[in-house]
Amino acid sequence: MRAQRNTTQGEASDSELTSVVMYAPDQLSAKATLIAIVATIFGSSICTLGLWYLLKVVKLPPFGGSQVTKAGATVGIFLTLLVTCIFVLWWMADDKRGTTRPRWRTWITYAVTHMAPAGLVMSAIGVPLSPSRLYLEGITVDQGFRTQFLTRLTATQGLPDMNYADLPAYYPGAWFWLGARFAQLIGYPGWAIYQPWALLSIAVTGCVLVPVWQRLVGSLPVATAIALVTTAIALTLCAFEPYACVIAMGIPAALVMGRRALSGQKLATVGVVVYLGASASTYTLYTAVIALSLVTVSGLFFAFVLRSWRPIRQIIVIGVSSMAIASIVWGPYLWLRFTGHYEGTAAASHFLPSEGTVVPLPMFATSFVGVLCLIGLIYLIMRVMDPDVCAMGVGLAVMYLWVIASMSVALSGTTLLGFRLDSVITIILGTAGVLGLAELRLVAVHRFYPVQFSTSLSTRINVICVVVLALAGIQYAQAIPDRNAHAIELAYTNTDGDGHRADFLPPDATQYYAEIDRVIQEKTGKPAADTVVLTDEFNFLTYYPYLGFQAFTSHYANPLGEFEKRNAVIENWASQSWDSLKDPQDFDRAVSNVPWRSPDAFVLRADSTGSSDSKDGWNFNLAIDIFPSNPNVWFKGVRFNPEVFQGENSPWTVTQVGPFVVVTHD
């Protein structure tokens, strides 16, 4: 992304139109970039947590039941973008006049621009969520297992599986592990840390993009615009999955850094190694796509540009180094996978929602981002000969091919989860759109109107461009709460771990979880983190760090846990509890005689008093993978004979807690 600055004088040369415009006055050195990144991480963390705490103190009304909270979000968005716009215009005016900025204003401008993404995150998502202790989508479906992972890791220092005993994590857990350490630091339970940790990580990532892009393009205003656009798109499309969101936000920069790393630039090499290592430890799908993109770029440079082995050597160095970082998270699982004797298979890719059956074309959306993506597409085509832009274009092409391949392999009974790339595609095109607009202003205007611009006229043009873009950004950003309205509503309607609903309506059966936890620990004499529970009330495992004998579904289950074999064992226990295992002692021996740690407790929805609802047994729902059907999970009920728990000489104790029977081993 090599370019010269030519903003006010005459017609741009043809050579200038074959390289990405770079704005030398704001170029950061390698040392300054690293210092800026560290300072931004620290500053944005303080700002985000401070705003989060302030919002909790203010006590806003529920988002769905009052327009006040939405109005507060809009005010925050407006003020964030307005203040940023003012300081960016002031910065550009100084540059245009060639005047020296006072140091105090330089520092304030850097502070405002680097903290602006955090302000956007807290305004658009933090304000609507502030009356609730839950994050987007509450603990519904996927958020349930994500919250369970945080809860589990908060109860331990290592990286164990989120559900099964004595197994390393299969799901890449870097984001969750760091969140758990944060929870321990401030004394929060794992489930309660999800909201602040998600907001913090997205906000910090958006802020860090400012110094990263300033290093890449040499312009503070352009870097700020890219960071804000990226953050707004991420909040709209993938904020519900924060650990994936933070990786997606960095992909355009990673593609540019990767291209420069292939040319031997040291800082870029370090940056892309750290990014790929973190990505592989957090969200492997994006890592695979980025790695494939960089391999493609290295092949192109090897064959057509550099005509040397340097790109190949560099891609090997990058690959080996990033895998070394990722091995910290993946090493224990892979070691056990290849040295143990396990029969389980992964089912995470057995999912194809409706959005996974269409090709994402955000450039035709009727919105500000749609226009920006269309400009980005044109820019990528027009600038394809520029190495950095080519890298972004190759990355975009690889992602579209991945989406098509995902639809194609669905015929074989699996997918590549291509629908997860929708947000990444939009972020790449949006980033390219910002670069295209910057070049249109700095080069193309002078080419099509080759008359020298006065400083005042050029300043007015800058004002017009920034104001129009800022207003368009406000129009898009103020709709973020509405676009996430359903996810926000679930954060209010789901009962939290303390047994409360943020909309002040009566809680569901979650209100009994605390008593269930007390009964289990009192009866077993074991801490929750070392107690195995068999239950289909999986929200209980979301809020309390118990080990599960069985996972929620095979899609979230560790392959080493042998999900299908466990299902078969549970079904056999239930069916034989009416026949060969109806004697409590025989049933107890069967439960103990399994290749995994046996349950210390059962938690089932039933009535231990023998009412008509329980005469047919106590029900347990087995999750069955029925992909390619949609929905892809079917729940099969199996019934346990209550007598194996309540009969004479039974080694089990039954306690009724609300609508649940809690069965604990003596």
Residues 246, 306: one domain?
yes
492 or 297, higher pLDDT: 492
Question: Residue 629 sits in which domain range?
Answer: 509-665
Task: Note whether residue 551 is domain-resident.
Answer: yes
Q: Are 375 and 433 in contact (CB under 8 A)?
A: yes
d(CA 277, CA 256): 17
Both 122 and 238 in one domain: the answer is yes
Q: How far apart are CA 224 and CA 228, in angstroms?
A: 6
pLDDT of res. 444: 60
Residue 631: cis peptide before it, omega within 30 degrees of 0: yes
For residues 471 and 100, the model is more confident at: 471
With respect to residue 340, please indicate whether it lies within any of the assigned structural domains: no
Number of H helices, E strands in the chain: 25, 7
- Does 260 lie in the same domain as 114? yes
Question: How far is it, in rounded angstroms, from Cα 373 to Cα 389?
Answer: 14
Note whether residue 32 is domain-resident.
yes
Residue 6 maps to a domain: no
Same domain, 477 and 564: no
pLDDT band at 27 (very low <50, low <70, confident <90, very high): confident
User: For residue 14, is pLDDT > 50?
Assistant: no
519 and 416, same structural domain? no
Tell me: pLDDT of 6 over 50: no
Q: Is residue 515 located within the same domain as residue 474?
A: no
Closest CA to 73 of 481, 473, 476: 481
Do 39 and 79 belong together in one domain?
Answer: yes
Backbone angles phi, psi at 635, to 5 degrees: -100, 120
**What region, left, alpha or beta, does residue 414 occupy, with left being phi > 0 and alpha being psi -120 to 50 degrees?**
beta
Instruction: Please give the pLDDT value at position 629.
Output: 85
Per-residue pLDDT tens over the stretch 516-531 = 999 999 999 999 999 9
Measured CA angle at 167 (ends 163, 173), to 5 deg: 70
120 found inside a domain: yes
pTM reported for the whole predicted model: 0.93
Whether 46 and 131 map to the same domain: the answer is yes
With a CB cutoff of 8 Å and minimum separation 6, the contacts of 432 are 252, 375, 376, 377, 379, 380, 389, 392
Domain check: are 378 and 523 in the same one? no
Could you please report the per-residue DSSP string of 44-59? HHHHHHHHHHHHHHHT
Instruction: Report whether pLDDT(59) > 90.
Output: no
Q: Is the pLDDT of residue 18 over 50?
A: no
Residue 495 lies in a domain: no
CA 523 to chain CA centroid, nearest Å: 39
> Sorting pLDDT into bands at 50, 70 and 90, what band is 5?
very low
The answer as to whether 498 is a domain residue is no
Band (96; pLDDT cuts 50, 70, 90): confident
pLDDT at 372: 96
Supply the pLDDT for residue 346: 82
Rounded mean pLDDT of 219-235? 97
In a domain, 581, yes or no: yes
pLDDT number for residue 448 = 58
What is residue 199's predicted lDDT score, i.e. its pLDDT? 98
Residue 454: pLDDT band (50, 70, 90) is low
State both tokens at 502. 């943020």
Based on the fold, state whether residues 25 and 129 are members of the same structural domain.
yes
- Maximum CA pair distance of the chain? 99
Provide the pLDDT for residue 3. 43
pLDDT at 131 over 90: yes
More reliable by pLDDT, 22 or 346: 346
The pLDDT value given to residue 101? 84
Closest CA to 114 of 264, 15, 228: 228
What is the number of structural domains in the chain? 2
Q: How would residue 21 be classed by pLDDT, with cut points 50, 70 and 90?
A: very low
pLDDT surpassing 50 at residue 15: no
Q: Look at residue 581 and tell me whether its pLDDT is greater than 50.
A: yes
pLDDT at 264: 87
63 and 205 share one domain: yes
The answer, yes or no, to whether residue 203 has pLDDT greater than 50, is yes
Q: Where are the beta strands (DSSP E) in 99-255?
A: none
Which of 428, 456, 489 terminates a domain? The answer is 489
Q: What is the mean pLDDT of the chain?
A: 90
The structure tokens listed for 660 are: 């649940």
| 246/298 same-domain check | yes
The 3-state DSSP class for residue 620 equals strand
